[in-house]
Structure 1
Amino acid sequence: MIFDSRLILYGLLLSNGACQLHIKNYCPLGWERRPSLFISPVQCPLALLVSLQFLEALEESQSEAIVSVIEVGVPACCGVFLVMLDKNETQGDSTELHELYCDSVKDFTSAAYSMATIAGLTMAVNVKEMLQSVTGLRQQAQCNNQLLASRVSLHKNSLETRRQPVCSRRHSVVMNVTTTHSSSPAVTQTLSEQSNQSRNPDLATVLVSEKLGDGGLDILRKVSNVDCIYNLTNEELCAKISDYDALIVRSATKVTRKVFEASKGKLKVVGRAGVGIDNVDLEAATELGCLVVNAPTANTVAAAEHGIALLTAMARNVAPSDSSMKSGKWERNKYVGVSLVDKTLAVMGFGKVGSEVARKAKGLGMHVISHDPYASADRARAIGVELVSFDDALARADFISLHMPLTPTTKKVFNDDTFRKCKKGVRLVNVARGAVIDEEALLRALDSGIVAQAALDVFAVEPPKGGDSSFALVQHKNVIATPHLGASTVEAQEGVALEIAEAVAGALAGDLAATAVNAPMVPAEVIAELTPYVVLAEKLGRLTVQLVSGSAGVKQVKVVYKSSRDDGDLDTRLLRARISKGLIEPVSDAIINLVNADYVAKQRGLKISEEREPADGESGVPLESVSVTIQDVESKFASARGDHSRSITLEGKVKDGVPHLSKVGNFSVDVSLDGNVILYRQVDQPGMIGKVGSILGEDNVNISFMSVGRTLRGQAAIVAIGTDEDVSDATIQKLKELPAIEELVFLRL
């Protein structure tokens, strides 16, 4: 059989994995089929394999042909490979070629599945080099199916979205191909065999269930056996997870309690390649002894850049003017923008992203102010940012950029009241959390002109749906909207891969991870002894921070443990961590635990000092009391001041296993910390308890505990009331209006 001019091997990958091969001849007038050779369908997922076998036959005639896979189509269940051979004349016999194919198909079957990862890429290789690789693959397939790496040069500009996931270690390739039809059972078996044969039994095993950058994979491969199996269902993940020591996910994989239970104690670390951990059951992870780590810093620059991009695009009407141009219009006068130079930008939230936005805005010539109760004054001064109160920031800002976490305090913090405090014509950017804005209120502010424009990357409902406020904002003429692209850059994704890989590798080596988001398992006997004191420590921190007034934030905290035990007999790290948790979490979305408490506190400029006071009690009781003092702050409740006018002190004890508040400032009280707390100072006179009780009863608030502390008879008294329910602002106001009450605060636990 003679093939003149160019030979085209046209392989068609059918939906069932079958492969049909046709030989076509190129003529000046077009394509003509030469039906002299037809290979019946075989169970082989890659037509390229068949092409390689014919190239081997061509090698016998000393072909110097150049192979170029010039187009690959990857629809749901079909791929087409066009292989062009620069060959003037090749002689052969179809029967011999068919026999060659049938003889080698057994050896090549397993290789085919791994070679399938080439699908979706454009490549160019020399025939001789490919034939050498084919020969090597054939030899390795005959010897335990181990593969040599094919010498394929992949073009850098291939479309990444068309490439199938690849993860290799020691020349093995593990792949999960998703089609509209079920995968062949043979594929699953072959992949499993390859993975097991390439594993080093002395190393930990890591499952990567979603796409991760090559840099991160390289780090993991140095210290562990790595399998990349993408698009797993929850059932498939549960079936596989007991083989792995670590699991790395992004946002799509749901790591539920079932997954942790299915691991049967094998899973030690879950790495979330990103910040949010909503898709990981932290409670189950902690309960079953699995450490969860994330990558919170790698996307900082990307998010800040996107914030600045939205800021400038909004100011110069980039999106609407582009749309106008594309519709054939030329409307220069309609899209006159505003300058950024000398304008005031209020950065609401001065964390990693907020401070980076501030730095970049300063470079644009803007005057930057910021509100964040936990911002470091030194860091703000270094950037040239003025820290101000919340209301002051609203009143002065020409532009507002939101970078605050979503907490109960910040949810819908930008509402009708907030917008009324803003300059008319203010412009708003949000790359933080959609729910910090009351979207209905923002729509009203846009319609009224209070807010001239808004640039939004995040929404309360994602993706926005027709009929909801998020969708209405997207459609508003004065809104620029992007689909949550804050962290979506090539560099950020690679940075996240490196950060999470380092965290997982360190955790597998036994190192404490600074980015851990849950506590490691604590011995049962220690938990049994410290549990009530741990609860007390967190509640004291949570109560104390709510008494802080002003925008200066908490910087210095002193903790005093009163105990009869020796220093070596009481490990206070867990207590300190829970105090940090109580101090920080009410005003942040950070998750604090034993592993990351010191790290997070340091990042926020919070210094916690610890002291020990001897107690006369028996050493069988770990602690007699714990006191928390926040130093150098103003107090919302003057009676909580300690020995100094600019400090707040609360003390607590454990009674019968229940945490109690035992001291407010210098006043002794005794109230169970089993709910919310009302603290007030009153003139010590008869009838006050009844009046307060009546007002609370009218609001259907049940009093669980009440304690009165005073210094001298007839002078001021401190009253602490425990409530089961939340207390409305109206009821709090009624209590404050009682003539004998001098000050009052409501503290939520």
Structure 2
Amino acid sequence: MASPASTAFTAPQLPAGRTSLFSPSVSSSYLASISFARSRFRAPLFGQALRLTLHPPMIYAFCDASRINRDLRTKAAAAAWGGEARPTILVSEKLGEAGLALLREFANVDCSYNLSLEELCGKISLCDALIVRSGTKVTREVFEAAKGRLKVVGRAGVGIDNVDLQAATENGCLVVNAPTANTVAAAEHGIALLTAMARNVAQADASMKAGKWQRNKYVGVSLVGKTLAVMGFGKVGSEVARRAKGLGMHVIAHDPYAPADRARAIGVELVSFDEAISTADFISLHMPLTPSTSKIFNDENFLKMKKGARIINVARGGVIDEDALLRALDNGTVSQAALDVFAEEPPPADSKLVQHERVTVTPHLGASTTEAQEGVAIEIAEAVVGALKGELAATAVNAPMVPSEVLSELAPYVILAEKLGRLAVQLVGGGSGIKGVKVVYKSSRSPDDLDTRILRAMVTKGIVEPISSLFVNLVNADYIAKQRGLRISEERVFHDGSPEIPLDSIQVHLANVESKFASAISDSGEIVVEGRVKDGIPHLISVGSFSVDVSLEGNLILCRQIDQPGMIGRVGNILGENNVNVSFMSVCRTAPRKQAIMAIGVDEKPHKEALRRIGEIAAIEEFVFLQI
């Protein structure tokens, strides 16, 4: 474990009966403060890239979208990569040229197709991002072989069952997909299979090409008035439903997460799983492959279907037990099937299911249109480049989905949250013995209108990173907190203020009963720091019961002292003699000549000699140097 980024100095003599720094007995009504601040130019917060992590690729910083788009087309994009060499993106499956061109403007692109697992593991430690389609399996072994360098995996398509999400999360790797570009293409292919199956198009075509004329053999069924069950009412499923309604079909759907109002707007009735499969003439599958959906269409559920039902699958092959489907076809429970996806791709050449006369098959063509391929390539390229540049991707799969407008509004509070966590853990001497963390948000808004997931993640980041070698981001924050035994709770407190301002302040409470510093703050061993955003800049406004007004920029020295004349000058002279530039000084006291604290902002870390001399000033009882 890395040593804490703080240094505590205690004066050799403590006056008898002197209260501790941040004593809870101090009444805030007696506080007076004096502030000396250096005037400085502060650039506007928005419209500038904000870097929140400590090293490239700085994932989960926030950037103005227009700046990103502009930078992608300039050499400055590479310079933005922490001043280092351009990142490397490995593309392991064929990607549209439009997407590759976008990637090459920002990074070095390695297009290596048909890699074995061993070859992929050999390359991945040299790559910052990986783009795959459905054929490459990104396993735990791949993430471990990356040795922490891999920061984003992009899936050029919707399904991510070929990526080990748990391993990605544990390694702090973002996973993004391209869920919108191929929506229409997949829906159109589902309808194409539906109609082709109903009219035996593929079988009749093969028959004619074999020199036969079998009109009576290939009599089909009409779609008008038939019931179609859409299993999975997401983007593709809802588009299939729209088109099926246009064909005159009655459409029902099953999806435990679909909003009823969206279904009603299309004219679709949401029903239970059993009702859907037992009443439908046609069943179209659009569900993801998860442990709960794997082989969900099995012998038991085929028996629940209406006799002679027809099934279409353009989702994932694994949701069907293929042996069970073969039995259902042979015994007439299922009349026909149209399959674009298979449990094993490509399926064996002698597959009985593929060769079955009443099965229509295509080789995973759901997204295979010229327009969709170009759209997917561009969508995944933009998501990967955005993630590498620090933009939170809207298509992130293993991170909380935070809308862009929320990100924009909360950006300065994200910085504040991390700095408060970083400050608090250093004040308790490195975090040993922390029993719990509570984050309190004071806001005039309703709790339902305040999305705090990203703020909680950044408090975790601030607490963990100064005392460990771990890299924390929005992807792995909750996982790391759990692994380290940090119990993080959140509380929202109503504050009578302007609803235009999302937060009045953020408090971070650390319950730490083993730290001497924390024990000096309160009988319960809890330390509380509070901050707010002023003019786009994060400020510390209280530590324990002491009110302060400190800009959280650069480094900070906090001194607990006896209030007396000349203290600011004495400390300032020591820092000046050691070429340490002071950005501000703020003194807060309980009463004249009584307990006080002095906050000093410095641009450079003082040498040990300077810190030693400050500690030797008789009136200073204790001080802490903090890197924030």
**TM-score of the superposition, structure 2-length normalised?**
0.50
| Greater relative contact order, per chain length (Cα 8 Å cut-off, separation 6+) | 2
**TM-score of the superposition, structure 1-length normalised?**
0.42
